[in-house]
Amino acid sequence: MSIRLTNISKKFGQFQALSPLNLDIQEGEMIGLLGPSGSGKTTLLRIIAGLEGADSGQIQFGNRDVTQVHVRERRVGFVFQNYALFRHMTVADNVAFGLEVMPKKQRPSAAEIHKRVTQLLETVQLGHLAQRYPEQLSGGQKQRIALARALATQPEVLLLDEPFGALDAKVRKELRRWLRSLHDELKFTSVFVTHDQDEALELSDRVVVMSNGHIEQINTPAELYSHPNSRFVFDFLGNVNVFEASWQQKRWENGQAFLTPPEQQTLQQDGVLYVRSHELALSNKPNSQANLPFNIVAMTPIGAEVRLELAPHGWHSEELWEAKFTHHNLQELGLQKGSVVYATPRTAYFFGAQGESSPTRLSWPFLTPGSLAFDI
Ligand SMILES: Nc1ncnc2c1ncn2[C@@H]1O[C@H](COP(=O)(O)OP(=O)(O)OP(=O)(O)O)[C@@H](O)[C@H]1O
């Protein structure tokens, strides 16, 4: 079932929770609503569900205008963060609930309900827990049951509000993969809310990035990562290093540090350069492309990588910079906590001070310490 939102807005009193926004969701797509707390994700999800009315605009499911249609008639499945299972009912009865309360004419027979519940419990791989009560389940199991319950009425749209928010990191990851494969198998259209960028990037076909009640950008995870269209999206997708750049004749400067633009670039103005932590090379001396001196203040192994925290040396940055390397790379470089190093970006994104919101992507030839043809 495709979903089309046209001109949807919502105010709570004087507060504009959603500015008029448009969103087209394809049939069978999995859409992640990502944004900081208060950006309007849950409000938008509740409006799609029919749990909240919009102040303006139209909602279509396929060709059907559902703007005025009651939540019960919209045929959506809903999963909340806090499971919302009925405590006094067994797992099987919880899953059967949506079917049992159907109007008599539409309700399947008792035998059909039993069959469907059994199948759903198999799908969520919890058939053996059918006679347990919610309090006898782990958080991850409860959330799978909540999903089975939401799917029992065979909705064409599944809406999930921070479905894995209350679970620990490992269970979250398992359930994410599991939800994605269930989605691919059953082919319903899903919209889920999250403030976890990894979750949004891993699960979604497209991510809708929200801030202050409007949509900042909609794109596939890969495109969002390679072409963030605003500083907000860049910041929100995490871990960027910021170089406040003042244009001085042929290069960007900040204190004693400088960066020379790639040859073909003609961005001769002040601005801000954003550099991702894994797009930095380090060396024990500067070169003609970059003179970005740092003190290494911390080296933290995180799984297969080591994260370096770098304090600018002789220039200013609001925050420490971060660089990521494999253990092997780092050994080759022979770096120690406390040493001074020079960073050279491979790629950076330039936001001009003149206010244009989309950045220019800058790409330099990759310089390794041994191949610095133009060391200074
Ligand atoms: N019923 C309500 N009455 C008044 N204000 C509300 C109501 N529901 C939401 N808001 C406000 O609207 C804004 C958007 O809320 P919403 O829950 O949609 O944000 P969110 O992006 O889902 O945030 P979170 O990640 O914290 O859940 C918030 O500032 C919130 O305080």
Percent of the chain with pLDDT over 90: 55
Query: How many A from CA of 226 to the centre of ligand 1?
Result: 30
Looking at the chain, the domain(s) classified CATH 2.40.50.100 span: 239-371
Question: Does residue 55 contact residue 10 with C-beta atoms inside 8 Å?
Answer: yes
Write out the DSSP string of 9-71. EEEETTEEEEEEEEEEE-TT-EEEEE-STTSSHHHHHHHHHTSS--SEEEEEETTEE-TT--G
Atom 24 of ligand 1, residue of closest alpha carbon: 37
pLDDT at 375: 46
Q: Is the pLDDT of residue 367 over 70?
A: no
DSSP annotation string for 97-114: HHHHTS-TTTPPPHHHHH
The residues lining ligand 1, judged by C-beta closer than 6 Å to any ligand atom, are 12, 15, 17, 35, 37-43, 193, 195
Mean pLDDT of 329-336: 82
The top-scoring range by mean pLDDT among 46-60, 144-158, 222-236, 320-334 is 46-60
CATH code 3.40.50.300 region(s) in the chain? 3-228
Please check the confidence at residue 131 and state whether its pLDDT lies above 70: yes
Of all protein residues, the one whose alpha carbon is nearest to atom 25 of ligand 1 is 37
Q: How far is the CA of 51 from the centre of ligand 1 (A)?
A: 14
Confidence of residue 265 (pLDDT cuts 50, 70, 90): low
- CATH number, domain 3-228: 3.40.50.300
Which residues, including other chains, have CB under 8 Å from residue 332's CB and lie 6 or more apart?
none
- CA 337 to mean position of chain CA atoms: 32
Q: Read off the tokens for 145.
A: 């049951």
What local confidence, expressed as pLDDT, does residue 372 receive? Answer: 44
| 60 burial level (CB within 10 Å; 0-12, 13-18, 19+) | middle
Give 172's pLDDT tier (boundaries 50, 70, 90): confident
Q: Is the pLDDT of residue 50 over 60?
A: yes
**Assigned architecture for domain 239-371:** Beta Barrel (2.40)
Given this model, what pLDDT does residue 266 score? 65
Q: Ligand 1 atom closest to Cα of 10? A: 12
In this prediction, residue 34 carries a pLDDT of 96
pLDDT for residue 52:
94
Share of the chain above pLDDT 70, in %: 95
In the three-class reduction of DSSP (H, G, I as helix; E, B as strand; rest coil), residue 237 is classed as coil
The residue whose CA has the least distance to atom 4 of ligand 1 is 12
Asked if the model's pLDDT at residue 64 lies above 90, the reply is yes
CA 175 / ligand 1 centre spacing (Å): 26
Q: How far is the CA of 292 from the centre of ligand 1 (A)?
A: 42
Q: Which segment, 132-136, 236-240, 259-263, 371-375, is predicted with the most confidence on average?
A: 132-136
| pLDDT(371) > 90 | no
What is the average pLDDT across 321-348?
88
How far does residue 101's CA lie from ligand 1's centre (Å)?
Answer: 30
Is the per-residue pLDDT at 374 higher than 60?
no
Cα(212)–Cα(232) distance, integer angstroms: 11
Index of the ligand 1 atom closest to the CA of residue 44: 18
Residue 34 phi, psi dihedral angles, 5° rounding: -120, 135
Q: State the ipTM, two decimals.
A: 0.95
Of the given ranges (100-109, 212-221, 340-349), which has the lowest mean pLDDT? 100-109
| 230 CA from centroid of ligand 1 (Å) | 23
Specify whether the CB–CB gap between 192 and 164 falls below 8 A: no
